[in-house]
């Protein structure tokens, strides 16, 4: 009937009703105070691991990045634990107290009741996120973390808390007792954060195949020829702006490795990690990895997670793109540069002091059709989480809609 009709005044009636109850109860504020002190203690503990003094002097910003990453993960984790407290009892406890039916009998629609309850539990949970701002500000103050990163992390935490609140709301609409919906909400959090990891590990183990992986690279003969060319060029005397030869990348081919081993096909299972709020927050945070030897590397936990997840998506069997990344040819370390040139550095007994820049060449298109380490996974994670939230919200609305058709066994309307 008017199940899906929605009005701002209806939502705000439910919202103010819910918030009034939360604000009146001292418990909320005591919990908030305990939380603030607790998070302060954790921040202090984490900072003891690092030489904060050195970090402030500007030498090693990765220390504060570590601090920021740890605080972020911790805030995230704790918010996932706090949100169910406020959401998982919302509908079922009204039902237990016999006030739900009288609300349903009014003009309020099921969506308005559900939305009002969702927003109120979300706002209360957000108070807990906001209470951690001083500690995040501390990490920013240490340097090495940008405000933009803080904004993104905060937004992601807001959304993830909303997700947990919606799941709690859904369970509270189904359950016959508050304790049951709370347990199920915590199980859902555990499922998304830990159990999917376990499933991922188990599923990935089953994808192993014994095979020879191929890499996209120069055949050995061509690499030897190019090394010889470089030897010749570096043996000669050149003017300062002379350019050594660029690697003949148009001769790149797929070369099968000469050994076989157990390859795990994480490219089939990586999506299991998408549900994890920690993956989403780590992947969404605009931290910068750096490249070394053509490998993306990280010096803080958020980036470590980010790179780990992205490489599971690429998968091992894809082989390596040795034509698109820096490579060693004999004594020469050849790094591609953005403008199509290569920086060629000679090491060893005849090592040069600075790299010589090759002529610009047109680097042929890489045959790597799949994903790149720079492709984000978080939009998929966010989308899957929003989908779950939508399912649970719809469930809550369905369970609030009157008149009731079938009632779950053992439930009375009033």
Partner 1 sequence: MTDGPALPSAAGLPASSAPAPGIFARQVRRTFGSVLAVADVSFVAPAGAVTALIGPNGSGKTTLLLMLAGLLRPDAGQINVAGFDMASHGYEARIRTGWMPDTLGTWDALSCAEIVTCYGQAYGMGKAFAAERARFMLERVYLAEYANAPARVLSRGQKQRLGLARALVHDPQVVLLDEPASGLDPRSRIELRDLLRALAEAGKTVLVSSHVLSELEEIADHSVFLQRGQSVDIRAIQRNITQRGWRLEALDPAALQAFLNAKNVPWRPGSAATTEVVVNLPNQESALALLKDAIAAGVPLHTIAPVSGRLEETYLSLDGERQ
Ligand X SMILES: Nc1ncnc2c1ncn2[C@@H]1O[C@H](COP(=O)(O)OP(=O)(O)OP(=O)(O)O)[C@@H](O)[C@H]1O
Select the residue interacting with partner 1 from 30, 45, 99, 253 (CB under 8 A).
Answer: 99
Q: How far is the CB of 285 from partner 1 (least distance, A)?
A: 39
Copy the structure tokens of residue 91.
């509908």
Work out what residue 9 binds among ligand X, partner 1, none; the CB cut-off runs from 5 to 8 Å by kind. partner 1
Q: Which does 101 bind (CB under 5 to 8 A by kind): partner 1, ligand X, none?
A: partner 1
Contact letters (x/-) for ligand X, 379-408, by CB under 6 A?
Answer: ----------------------------x-
Angle at 243 between CA 242 and CA 247, to 5 degrees: 165
Report the alpha-carbon distance of residue 119 to residue 90 in Å, rounded. Answer: 11
Instruction: Check whether the bond before 139 is cis (ω within 30° of 0).
Output: no
DSSP state, 321? Answer: B
CB atoms inside a 10 Å sphere around CB 205: 11
Residue nearest to ligand X (CB): 412
Crossing angle, helix 110-130 and helix 61-87, to 10 degrees?
150
Place of tokens 């490219």: 267
Nearer to partner 1, 190 or 414 (CB): 414
Residue 105 beta carbon to ligand X: minimum distance, rounded to whole angstroms: 16
The conformation of residue 275, written as its DSSP 8-state character, comes to: G
| Sequence-ordered list of residues with C-beta below 8 angstroms from that of 14, at least 6 positions apart, any chain | 103, 108, 112, 113, 115, 116, 117, 120
Contact residue for partner 1 among 58, 59, 98, 286 (CB under 8 A): 98
Binding of partner 1 at residue 403 (CB under 8 A)?
Answer: yes
- Chosen from partner 1, ligand X, none, partner binding at 25 (C-beta under 5 to 8 Å by type): partner 1
Beta carbon of residue 96, minimum distance to partner 1 (angstroms, whole number): 9
Q: Is 105 in the site for partner 1 (CB under 8 A)?
A: yes
Nearest CB to partner 1, comparing residues 106 and 208: 106
Structure tokens of 172?
Answer: 């509270």
Q: Which one of residues 242, 345, 412, 414 is an interface residue with ligand X (CB under 6 A)?
A: 412
Among 8, 338, 362, 407, binds partner 1 (CB under 8 A): 407
Query: Strand order in 356-357's β-sheet?
Result: 327-329, 332-336, 342-346, 356-357
Question: In whole angstroms, how close is the CB of 92 to ligand X at the nearest point?
Answer: 15
**For the purposes of burial, counting CB atoms within 10 Å of the CB of 221, is it exposed (0-12), middle (13-18) or buried (19 or more)?**
exposed
397: which 2 tokens?
A: 């609305």
Q: Is residue 8 near partner 1 by the rule CB under 8 A? A: no
Burial of 167 (0-12, 13-18, 19+ CB in 10 A): buried
From residue 240 to residue 279, the character string flagging contacts with partner 1 as x (rule: CB under 8 A) and all else as - is: ----------------------------------------
Q: List contacts with ligand X (CB under 6 A).
A: 407, 411-412
Site for partner 1, rule CB under 8 A: 1-2, 9-10, 13-14, 16-17, 20-21, 24-25, 97-99, 101-108, 402-405, 407, 409, 413-414
């Amino acid at each position: 009937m008017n199940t899906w009709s929605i009005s701002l005044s209806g939502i705000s009636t439910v919202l103010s009703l819910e918030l009034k109850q939360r604000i009146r109860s001292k418990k909320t504020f005591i919990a908030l105070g305990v939380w603030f002190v607790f998070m302060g203690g954790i921040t202090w503990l984490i900072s003891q691991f690092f030489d904060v003094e050195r970090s402030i002097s500007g030498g090693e910003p990765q220390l504060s990045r570590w601090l920021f990453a740890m605080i972020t993960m911790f805030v995230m984790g704790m918010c996932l634990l706090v949100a169910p407290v406020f959401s998982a009892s919302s509908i079922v406890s009204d039902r237990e107290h016999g006030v739900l039916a009288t609300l349903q009998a009014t003009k309020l629609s099921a969506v308005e009741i559900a939305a009002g309850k969702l927003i109120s539990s979300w706002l209360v949970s957000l108070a807990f996120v906001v209470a951690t701002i001083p500690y995040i500000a501390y990490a920013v103050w240490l340097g090495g973390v940008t405000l933009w990163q803080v904004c993104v992390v905060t937004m992601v935490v807001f959304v993830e808390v909303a997700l947990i609140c919606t799941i709690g709301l859904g369970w509270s609409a189904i359950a016959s007792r508050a304790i049951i919906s709370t347990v199920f909400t915590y199980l859902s959090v555990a499922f998304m954060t830990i159990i999917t990891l376990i499933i991922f590990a188990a599923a990935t183990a089953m994808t192993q195949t014994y095979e020879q992986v191929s890499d996209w690279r120069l055949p050995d003969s061509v690499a030897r020829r190019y090394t010889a060319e470089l030897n010749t060029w570096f043996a000669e005397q050149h003017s300062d702006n002379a350019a050594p030869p660029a690697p003949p990348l148009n001769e790149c081919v797929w070369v099968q490795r000469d050994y076989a081993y157990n390859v795990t096909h994480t490219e089939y299972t990586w999506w299991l990690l998408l549900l994890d709020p920690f993956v989403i927050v780590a992947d969404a945070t605009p931290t910068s990895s750096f490249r070394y030897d053509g490998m993306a590397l990280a010096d803080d936990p958020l980036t470590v997670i980010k790179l780990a997840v992205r490489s599971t998506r690429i998968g091992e069997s894809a082989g390596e793109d040795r034509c698109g990344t820096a490579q060693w040819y004999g004594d020469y370390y050849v790094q591609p540069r953005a403008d199509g040139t290569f920086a060629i550095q000679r090491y060893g007994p005849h090592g040069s002091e600075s790299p010589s820049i090759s002529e610009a060449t047109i680097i042929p298109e890489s045959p790597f059709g799949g994903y790149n380490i720079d492709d984000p996974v978080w939009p998929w994670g966010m989308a899957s989480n929003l989908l779950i939230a939508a399912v649970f919200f719809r469930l809550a609305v369905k369970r609030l809609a009157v008149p009731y058709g079938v009632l779950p066994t053992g439930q009375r309307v009033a």
